[in-house]
Amino acid sequence: MIEYLNEHSVKLTFIAPYKKSVHVIGEFNNWQILDEFAMKKQTDGETFIIIINNLQPKREYAYQFLIDRKIVIADPYAEKILDPQFDKQISSNIYPELKKYPFENPFKGSVSILQTCQDPYQWRVENFIPPPKEDLIIYELLIRDFVESRKYRDIVNFIPYFKILGINAIELLPVQEFTGNDSWGYNPTFYFAADKAYGTKNDLKYLIDKCHENGIAVILDVVFNHADKKFSYYKAYKGHKSADGEHPFFNEKATHPYSVFFDFNHESKYTQAFFDKVCKFWLSEYMIDGFRFDLTKGFTQVQSYPDVLKWSSYDASRVKLLKRMYKKIREYNKNCYLILEHLAANDEETELADYGFLLWGHLNYQFRNLLNGKNDSISWLNYKKRGWKEANLVGYMESHDEERLVFDANEKFKDIGLALARTRAATVVFFSYPGPKLFWQFGEFGYDINIDYNGRTGIKPIKWEYLKEPQRQSLFDVYRQMIHLRKNIVAFNEGEFVEVSESLVKKININHPTINIRVIVNFNLKEVILKSNLEEGIWYDFFEEVVFESSEKNIKIALKAGEYHLFTSKPIEKF
């Protein structure tokens, strides 16, 4: 940990169980191993502390820890890192006056930065009240592939676009320092540092501040299941064998079958304490509004490899670990969003949802099937169908990690117009379900680039020009109208929700004292004549903007392939 005592002094604290000595080497001592820069080992036998004096105010100093005179690492608690390999790829336009890597350092590798008298960011919004969790409409965003400049600051230019669309939260793919500069960010290395590939830490704060000014919450995607090989605690303990055979942070081999990089042991008190500090830091220093925790099904010491079914089954120890984390974070912020990408058995997810977590609801395969004319159920988008007490399901048709709906449909039909039209129908159904919703960037105008283009996590082309195409603009308008309906018509969240689907024809009834809503969509590949879900009387077709008179209950109607209707018992003007 880094504590600035005054303009000339800093206190460094490093937790290093099983280590005998730690020296600080850096620009302030010409990278020499000196006794006066040996950190003092505390009585607990694992905490090392040093106070460094005579620092120049505002000067950035590069430094490292030398452990047991043989292992060199950067400070895992540093808020800024310099990398000898990748920093040279970062332009001055993205990060002005970035300090040059000190190649005179004989120990090489990543170096951490300390700096007294930093100019604090002046927050304009200090008491932002985020939207209620059940009202969340989350826009998932990868800065690299969203804006040509790849800059935190330039996302601010799209806030008017977000407001027109109607979303009230953005979820940033990981921005904690990761290996390289072209990444989704799921290869983290330094958890307290905002990645320089997108700009300065104050640029990120500016983005968050401007979102808050405009009523938009900011959720940070974080990766606590694993770390990349440049993570300092991995380097410090690589090949470690303690007296009891346990690594203080990592599993020698992942317990589960979906491991990537190096797997954390979440039952370790060291791992828990480290990530508790990480969460507290981002909530206080960056004023983020919540976390989306990646791959939380991996937070377990129960051996399941290579059995995916066993891994997905109810795991009491995993539930206990996540509840501990929930309670701890709630000590820092009572209202932040805590979202799990869990995708485990429903009995486990039910317990976590009822405890207060939000959980991702993956419906990509089901919606792709419907678009392609294959029958599938989307009932799992309804939290009540899962037996949950509250609307804690963050449903999505697409996230960063799934194939794009329009690409998949166009592969089948070889007709982009047809693929877009059927996606409009899916969008109406999707947003009619209660609870928070999420969608991946550009899904609102039918992004149709294969997820594996240029490699799954590789750079994807930015297609803002798609909005000039009438058929894609029509899809955008359906997204916008459905989002604004949800935000302005209370029945969508508080009404009685009933599914009356018949195979490829999906029907939804929403009843509320203020208004009744009827949705009907035909996912068949041909026209069908069927009984509607309309009662006798006058109905208002929201999208067609016409009045429809139903002469009897469940009047028969003809629906063309991909046709959809949203009827209301009272007229609603488009937004």
pLDDT tens by residue, 53-101: 999 999 999 999 999 999 999 999 999 999 999 999 999 999 999 999 9
What strands lie across the sheet with 546-550, from one edge to the other?
496-499, 505-512, 515-522, 564-568, 537-541, 546-550
pLDDT-derived band of residue 241, with 50, 70 and 90 as boundaries? low
**C-beta of residue 137 within 8 angstroms of C-beta of residue 337:** no
Start-end of CATH 2.60.40.1180 domains in the chain: 498-568
Mean pLDDT on 10-18: 97
219 pLDDT more than 90: yes
Q: How far apart are the first and last CA of the chain?
A: 50
Question: Where in 435-545 does DSSP place strands (E)?
Answer: 437-440, 496-499, 505-512, 515-522, 528-531, 537-541
How far are the Cα atoms of 85, 174, 188, 381 from residue 388, in angstroms, in the given order? Answer: 49, 29, 33, 12
**Residue reference for tokens 């969509």:** 521
Rounded distance between C-alpha atoms, residue 573 and residue 495, angstroms: 20
CATH fold of the domain at 2-114: Immunoglobulin-like (2.60.40)
pLDDT tens per residue across span 147-179: 999 999 999 999 999 999 999 999 999 999 999
pLDDT-derived band of residue 554, with 50, 70 and 90 as boundaries? very high
What letter would DSSP give residue 208? Answer: H
Instruction: Please state whether beta strands 393-396 and 111-114 pair in parallel, antiparallel, or not at all (unpaired).
Output: unpaired
How far are the Cα atoms of 293, 527, 546, 552, 568 from residue 549, in angstroms, in the given order? Answer: 49, 21, 10, 9, 12
Fill in the amino acid letter for 262. F
pLDDT of residue 245: 56
98 token code pair? 């970035």
Mean pLDDT on 490-517: 95
Picking from 324, 293, 321, the residue whose alpha carbon sits closest to that of residue 223 is 293
Start-end of CATH 2.60.40.10 domains in the chain: 2-114
311 pLDDT more than 70: yes
72 token code pair? 């060199």
- Calculate the average pLDDT of the chain: 97
What are the φ/ψ torsions at residue 359 (nearest 5 degrees)? -130, 140
pLDDT of residue 563: 98
Mean pLDDT on 445-458: 97
**Residue reference for tokens 């009047």:** 555
pLDDT of residue 212: 98
pLDDT tens per residue across span 393-410: 999 999 999 999 999 999
Picking from 151, 150, 218, the residue whose alpha carbon sits closest to that of residue 460 is 150
pLDDT of residue 239: 78
pLDDT of residue 501: 81
pLDDT of residue 246: 73
How far are the Cα atoms of 62, 302, 418, 530 from residue 565, in angstroms, in the given order? Answer: 62, 48, 17, 14
Rounded distance between C-alpha atoms, residue 224 and residue 262, angstroms: 10
Picking from 437, 430, 432, 541, the residue whose alpha carbon sits closest to that of residue 489 is 432
CATH fold of the domain at 498-568: Immunoglobulin-like (2.60.40)
240 pLDDT more than 80: no
Rounded distance between C-alpha atoms, residue 82 and residue 181, angstroms: 13
301 pLDDT more than 70: yes
pLDDT-derived band of residue 381, with 50, 70 and 90 as boundaries? very high
Q: What string of DSSP letters covers 92-107?
A: TTTSTTPPPP-TT-TT
pLDDT tens per residue across span 268-290: 999 999 999 999 999 999 999 99
Asked whether the bond before 306 is cis by omega within 30 degrees of 0, the reply is: yes
pLDDT tens per residue across span 510-523: 999 999 999 999 99
Q: Is the pTM of this model over 0.95?
A: yes
**Residue reference for tokens 């109905």:** 539
pLDDT-derived band of residue 500, with 50, 70 and 90 as boundaries? confident
Rounded distance between C-alpha atoms, residue 398 and residue 139, angstroms: 11
Rounded distance between C-alpha atoms, residue 246 and residue 240, angstroms: 8
pLDDT of residue 297: 97
With a pLDDT cut of 90, the percent of the chain lying above it is 97
242 pLDDT more than 60: no
244 pLDDT more than 90: no
How far are the Cα atoms of 15, 128, 271, 491 from residue 233, in angstroms, in the given order? Answer: 10, 35, 10, 50
Buried b (16+ CB within 10 A) or exposed e, 59-91: ebbbbbbbbeeebbbbbbbbbbbbbeebbeebe
474 pLDDT more than 60: yes
